Structure 1
């Protein structure tokens, strides 16, 4: 059906709300409907069909110049098809072994877009000083690495770039000869005549006699100068400028990444004999209403990062391109992968990350694009949202009901209806007459509010934000470049802020000031505890081609929208996060949720997977998508709990909360046409189950916060797929329905199917795993083993890996800030050798004082005093003091003081209980080293060191009198 919205006296058809759940696939292109993708795929087909196929690109060895520091070289590249067209090649090696390969057209009719990497990278990478290029007659190469195990080889004719490790090819560019940079030309120019390349077979020569260049570029000029789709015409004033490149992983049979798509983590094939999908994976940030749960269709964000994995190594590439990109994936053998990347515009700018482990890849990518920001701790709590809470009294009522039912919550959200005529920042005073008082009522219980701010501005004289943007000239221009682009979105007739324009940045930051700025407008009807949701930033344009902006619109610098589209959505949350930091003194950590994103967006906040459906398939797909985003850097991720569309039955809603509680970002959200489904509204016994799930999330906040701290330092994602934790276990390379939470040792397998009472969980090692709730001990195997775990509707399959120590806070509270001085419980899960280890990271959770060393970072260890000893010690020590290279959020802690201001503020926080799993026998003594005996209880059961399965032995040490900021040791004598 169509929802009619009256704005400014006009009846605008702004929102399509289908009566049945089905994506409108006709609104979005397939590869066959995109001229440059057709051309790229046709190129690949001709290459496969022509036995003598040879890339026309070669390096002009006479032009090769090695830099004085040996870290890079440049050379000219020529094409046998177009002798008069010049290209340049730049190859450089970073100090961590990453190889960057750039190729651009030289002295062309126009300039190709070459700024994508500058938006993604945190700084210009440091080049290696340990490189020596050897220039030969056929290639140039360099050996490097601690043991000279890595080698880069650049072949001259044809141009081919390969990264090798120990003589074995890891990544190959243009190995299949699909490199093609469509040079700029005039519409009137014809293709140059020429003779067939030597060595072509008779079939190819016959083709060449009919149509020079046809063997490479095709028989016709397919979609070069104009293209229409869905009633819209793209003028293509620059003509063809696409870029095609094949990237091979000759010894890696699994590839992951390139989010965002609703597909399995281990990316299925799109070509070959039995492709899973007929279309390539598409990267084109899109507002896809009710997307399919299994499809290569583009969704809201685009991160052109791909991991390739095998048992002996992991490698990755980051293809820094901002335009629409299609990626074919094929596996010519079970142990190899071919990919073909086809982009509409831009230069070749590929970063090859050599690994060789997944953790190495995360570090290499983080050094390029930054680590995830350490979020405010409250943002890891539960978020309650719907489209829309209709009034300030509605918000107050929702908060009251949560408290009446003893359900914790940290954040209440407001969707677009809070704003008068959808003029963002401007309150609808009929329904929200007292916005600041409403916010203060929420803040009184330690909670926060999030309010939506979209990038489209209503074109009206009574909207100061639009008027200022127009006067500043910071709005996107139409294809003429002279006037503001006008399209349709929630606000009706709208214009879009061009955040590529530097003049927009300080202006946007000023808007968020909560105090008066003289005669300049600012959001005084707000508070420092109001945070922001950036939606529709693909950008979404209701009457635009593919529900987006015309590709021939003009951005700052004269670039067409086609050149920058996938970066566009990244800029709004970037500047918004800076605005939230700048609005208060001392500054607080921002929280910004974005729907659209690009490489580097992890520096600015969280994302969610968009307009999902209340179905079991979408519940499962959300897990795959969150994992894929995490390995591409965007680890603060989650899906709308319950599904944005639909009315899930109680069983499904319970399962969805279980999924959400084990996502980094935990938010329930629903469409305005759904029934209200706040967790307190569901009938018993389901309401009690939801309460338990929410409380479990809050109990585990120390685990989540510690995992986010590690991610902010190392780039390793918060949710870790199996191949990340066990990179050599081939049986787990396709696993994406169970995962580990940080380095905690917690393994979760959410239930995503109806009527489940038990579930198989894969254990990859000869180790003991404990059920988090029942303490049942399961035994893995060196060859991998499936175990059956209870999974009735009230049960979550959650295991603790033997060798882990889990810090939790067990006191029920209404919000996370009220937990700051609560005591801790330590769950110590012994491994089969009687050892366990864990970490706890704490800071004030809100400001940036952690960058000055105001933190508590502890290591907990349980171990025998000797191999066959009957004495086990559990100890706590300061982890920073033991790690002189420690850093927080990328800042060195060389001036760290264990008695810092934050540590002093929580010095009274104690450990109130220790739960020790897997002892071999009842202790004869439990005491703090140097102190008195402690009160403890022991329940006999299975020992960690044995072979049996069953309920594990449990020792509970009550109130041991030790403090979380202090060093201590507890001695257990068996």
Structure 2
């Protein structure tokens, strides 16, 4: 949503007035552990595996690891660790390293994994004093080098695919007790440890660090890799840059006011999964850690990497990438995803962290928002104007001003006196309402949430064990400790209809500011030494009896949206909720959609929506979008038009803007621009069932909805760095116009080696894939191409909301490949309930061959009583049209009318009338 604009002068100085104030956010040099670990570059690792300690327990290899004093002739053991190597299903391994007897327990994220990973078998092949060899049931090999410790993971062809600790940057800082203080010569109390061990400062803030240093680090090398991707959320290119000339990529959920482009700075999200891709294979790693994390990248193929370094490390081979993860705390816990295709690793990651459940259909339609629609009359006027200007819309949003003085689960009694009636007026047209609920709670006497949280100890505590008090939209605020199951249950209960009057099943939720944002906190967030609930352990008191915020920071927003999700399910158990979140972490996709935060109405921010959303999509979160038009500033007509056209082909499609921007509903522009915005929205609605099918299939196979080109064309090197276009499933290629004033754009059409055809969806003109083409564009044109060999279902009767289109007829577009065939899928259900779990749905396949068209059910045991039917079939690329066509359904045969458009080889079958509720076929004769 937004950061403070004009609430308090003190907070404005924190955020700055013109763009991001970098002074408010740490560099690696200012982050104590990053500075310390980045400088840790020994020639050889001090970690050694005790081969004689190895045991195999089920799917886990367990062994002792020691750190050896390299300067000691007697090889003095400094610390003892336990290494676990687990073989998991789907060619995945887990590597864990922790102290053998830690002083305190270390935090492991509680919510990122959707369940305990499913085991695979592991077999010890051989061992000697130098190395150990194991394989999983698929025969993929892992070699553990004993001294210095190194792990090599091999692909199915027996080649090294990934190496851990090749560059000796493994480090797990052992937990220690603070030394006794003594006075120095000047009488100052010191503890004898290095600076920053037991506390560090940033600006006016002091972090007490009661456990001292507890960082973890590991380097991961990728032989034969050309590019690496992932670790969102950042604003630079989709393929990650070499970081030797600046800071590493930072993963730390932060409310960065007016964030900037082309930056490796942290912003709202932190998903620590990284993929490496080359022509030989794709592999990945998931760094299972929720603390502040920095990631270094060295791509030896980059021009920024000096040739001497390439020769030194790789012997002149540029197809190699080294990375390094550094986290402030936690267990060293890494999942290795052995691929070997992009689709394999993306699925392996979602097998661990989950998929987006099937969303309600309305959520894939158009959303209208701003900060703020001021009252019920304003909402009614916006709603009516969509109808008056013939623009479909499904959702109207309310920002923080709808509440009673920023107190959540309340309504402003003057501006929103009749919320139930307001909601009913919307739902009568098939529309929904979304309202915002943020995690900060106003410290207001008499406010039920604050009173309950204070009396029952529900708030996060400060370093002294008192309720933490920060500053956010309501002014003085405190933050519920969602790690506490009691607090989780209390928060979820607030969504019940009796506790949140005015809401219904058609009111959905926006969770913002959940990094958490604290206007007067260090880096505009919660101090790291704040205390969170920890499950009690026998005999554990003091420092070990709570988690610090530093341990859980990136997971805090996930705990919050999990509570929202559970609360919405409890209020209406058979209805699918929609939730939007700003903060993201691994596993967010199981509960909410996300958007790219407080962007700016500038062309660069429009362009950034593509790599940002592709990056989170391959990191599990397919349901991504941006504030269409830009949150800050005022877009001109051209930028607004291009943003609507781009947003119409991104998963989450919402217009939103700052409270001080001009009103910019589509009808407030010149009529010609309004017509273009209307056209963009209508294009979205025509493809709603296509989107809905993509999300259904994602919920089954875990693959991204919005895909990078290299996912489908992994051997085609030119695709590796394309990030201004993308695929929707494997059927549509989207190249939004992201540049100002252009009449020509370059479009890359992949698949030359397979003779792929791409059809312009506006003209049905076929293009043979052969790399880049130049596409003419006017202000109305968005380059979109349908892949030859695919089938796409559309609904051309666009109404004012998606609910009113549920039983409307379909148009089927068949784009033929070089073999004159095509096929596709379609999913149909009621769009809002969980009845599909009782097999009340249709999941079908349509297939075209020169002999005819068949429509069959993939899931034959499922059915749904749809009233939809087929009103038109368009066959593009047809070379030899049939003379006759007959529909066969329900034991009846019906002759069909056809029209041939010779100029573009398109055959149209008019009004076949086939019901979508039962299988059918059309038979051709020649």
Q: TM-score, normalised by structure 2?
A: 0.92
Deviations 1:544-601 (A, max 9, x none): 00000000000001010001101111111111011111102x5210111000011011
Following TM superposition, by how much is the alpha carbon of 1:20 offset from its aligned partner in structure 2, in angstroms?
6.0
**Per the alignment, in what secondary structure is the counterpart of residue 875 of structure 1?**
strand
Following TM superposition, by how much is the alpha carbon of 1:292 offset from its aligned partner in structure 2, in angstroms?
0.8
Q: 1:505-520, aligned counterparts within 5 Å? A: 505-515=488-498
Counterpart for residue 421 of structure 2: 437
Counterpart for residue 357 of structure 2: 373
CA contact (8 A) 1:14 1:492 kept: no
Q: 1:367-516, aligned counterparts within 5 Å? A: 367-481=351-465, 483-515=466-498
Q: Does 1:567 align with 2:555?
A: yes
Counterpart for residue 958 of structure 1: 910
Name whichever of 543-552 and 499-508 sits farther off: 499-508
CA contact (8 A) 1:243 1:342 kept: yes
Deviations 1:483-507 (A, max 9, x none): 1000100011110011000111221
**Per the alignment, in what secondary structure is the counterpart of residue 721 of structure 2?**
coil
CA contact (8 A) 1:35 1:222 kept: no
Distance 1:130 1:880, change over 3 A: farther
Q: Does 1:291 align with 2:259?
A: yes
Distance 1:2 1:144, change over 3 A: closer
Which of the numbers 75, 94, 98 marks the counterpart of 2:92? 98
Which of the numbers 178, 187, 207 marks the counterpart of 1:234? 207
Name whichever of 18-27 and 83-92 sits farther off: 18-27
Q: Does 1:181 align with 2:172?
A: yes
Counterpart for residue 945 of structure 1: none
Counterpart for residue 594 of structure 2: 607
Distance in 2 of aligned mates of 1:108 and 1:848 = 46
Which of the numbers 901, 908, 917 marks the counterpart of 2:876? 917
Counterpart for residue 117 of structure 2: 125
Distance in 1 of aligned mates of 2:250 and 2:342 = 25
Following TM superposition, by how much is the alpha carbon of 1:84 offset from its aligned partner in structure 2, in angstroms?
4.2
**Per the alignment, in what secondary structure is the counterpart of residue 493 of structure 2?**
helix
Distance in 1 of aligned mates of 2:15 and 2:449 = 32
**Per the alignment, in what secondary structure is the counterpart of residue 640 of structure 1?**
strand
Distance in 2 of aligned mates of 1:920 and 1:268 = 46
Following TM superposition, by how much is the alpha carbon of 1:444 offset from its aligned partner in structure 2, in angstroms?
1.0
Distance 1:268 1:933, change over 3 A: same
Deviations 1:780-805 (A, max 9, x none): 23xxx212222211011001111111
Distance in 2 of aligned mates of 1:130 and 1:54 = 29
Deviations 1:504-553 (A, max 9, x none): 122112111113xxxxxx11222221110000100000000000000000
Counterpart for residue 839 of structure 1: 825
Following TM superposition, by how much is the alpha carbon of 1:15 offset from its aligned partner in structure 2, in angstroms?
5.3
Which of the numbers 158, 161, 168 marks the counterpart of 1:170? 161
Which of the numbers 785, 791, 814 marks the counterpart of 1:799? 785
Counterpart for residue 278 of structure 2: 310
Distance in 2 of aligned mates of 1:244 and 1:75 = 19
Distance in 2 of aligned mates of 1:56 and 1:14 = 47
CA contact (8 A) 2:230 2:273 kept: yes
CA contact (8 A) 1:138 1:155 kept: yes
Distance in 1 of aligned mates of 2:16 and 2:925 = 67
Q: Does 1:144 align with 2:132?
A: no
Counterpart for residue 739 of structure 1: 726
**Per the alignment, in what secondary structure is the counterpart of residue 175 of structure 2?**
coil
Q: 1:331-350, aligned counterparts within 5 Å? A: 331-333=299-301, 334-350=318-334
Following TM superposition, by how much is the alpha carbon of 1:13 offset from its aligned partner in structure 2, in angstroms?
4.8
CA contact (8 A) 2:732 2:786 kept: yes
Counterpart for residue 538 of structure 2: none
Following TM superposition, by how much is the alpha carbon of 1:923 offset from its aligned partner in structure 2, in angstroms?
3.3
Which of the numbers 502, 505, 508 marks the counterpart of 1:531? 508
Counterpart for residue 312 of structure 2: none
Q: 1:570-719, aligned counterparts within 5 Å? A: 570-584=558-572, 586-719=573-706
Distance 1:96 1:18, change over 3 A: closer
Deviations 1:444-484 (A, max 9, x none): 11110000000010112221011112222221000012x10
Counterpart for residue 868 of structure 1: none
CA contact (8 A) 2:795 2:808 kept: yes
Q: TM-score, normalised by structure 1?
A: 0.88
**Per the alignment, in what secondary structure is the counterpart of residue 128 of structure 1?**
coil
Deviations 1:323-353 (A, max 9, x none): 0000010013431110011110011000001
Distance in 1 of aligned mates of 2:925 and 2:784 = 30
Counterpart for residue 53 of structure 2: 63
Distance in 2 of aligned mates of 1:358 and 1:172 = 19
Distance in 2 of aligned mates of 1:312 and 1:839 = 31
Distance 1:322 1:2, change over 3 A: closer
Distance in 1 of aligned mates of 2:336 and 2:606 = 34
Name whichever of 707-716 and 363-372 sits farther off: 363-372
Distance in 1 of aligned mates of 2:612 and 2:4 = 30
CA contact (8 A) 1:154 1:161 kept: yes
Which of the numbers 729, 746, 762 marks the counterpart of 1:773? 762
Distance 1:526 1:14, change over 3 A: farther
CA contact (8 A) 1:162 1:173 kept: yes
Counterpart for residue 810 of structure 1: 796
Distance 1:2 1:574, change over 3 A: closer
Gaps of 5+ in 1: 6-10, 48-52, 191-218, 516-521, 865-871, 882-895, 942-951
Following TM superposition, by how much is the alpha carbon of 1:684 offset from its aligned partner in structure 2, in angstroms?
2.1
CA contact (8 A) 2:132 2:145 kept: yes
Q: Does 1:926 align with 2:885?
A: yes
Following TM superposition, by how much is the alpha carbon of 1:706 offset from its aligned partner in structure 2, in angstroms?
0.5
**Per the alignment, in what secondary structure is the counterpart of residue 912 of structure 2?**
strand
CA contact (8 A) 1:3 1:13 kept: no
CA contact (8 A) 1:707 1:718 kept: yes
**Per the alignment, in what secondary structure is the counterpart of residue 957 of structure 1?**
strand
Q: CA RMSD in A?
A: 1.8
Following TM superposition, by how much is the alpha carbon of 1:909 offset from its aligned partner in structure 2, in angstroms?
1.5
CA contact (8 A) 2:757 2:768 kept: yes
Which of the numbers 228, 233, 242 marks the counterpart of 1:269? 242
Q: Does 1:38 align with 2:35?
A: yes
Following TM superposition, by how much is the alpha carbon of 1:17 offset from its aligned partner in structure 2, in angstroms?
10
CA contact (8 A) 1:2 1:13 kept: no
CA contact (8 A) 2:68 2:78 kept: no
Distance in 2 of aligned mates of 1:21 and 1:807 = 46
Gaps of 5+ in 2: 70-75, 182-191, 302-317, 535-545
Distance 1:57 1:375, change over 3 A: same
Deviations 1:634-663 (A, max 9, x none): 110101100100101100000000111111
Q: Does 1:157 align with 2:147?
A: yes
Distance in 1 of aligned mates of 2:512 and 2:226 = 37
Name whichever of 13-22 and 846-855 sits farther off: 13-22
Name whichever of 750-759 and 80-89 sits farther off: 80-89
Name whichever of 295-304 and 77-86 sits farther off: 77-86
Distance in 2 of aligned mates of 1:652 and 1:485 = 43
Distance in 2 of aligned mates of 1:64 and 1:20 = 59
**Per the alignment, in what secondary structure is the counterpart of residue 812 of structure 1?**
coil
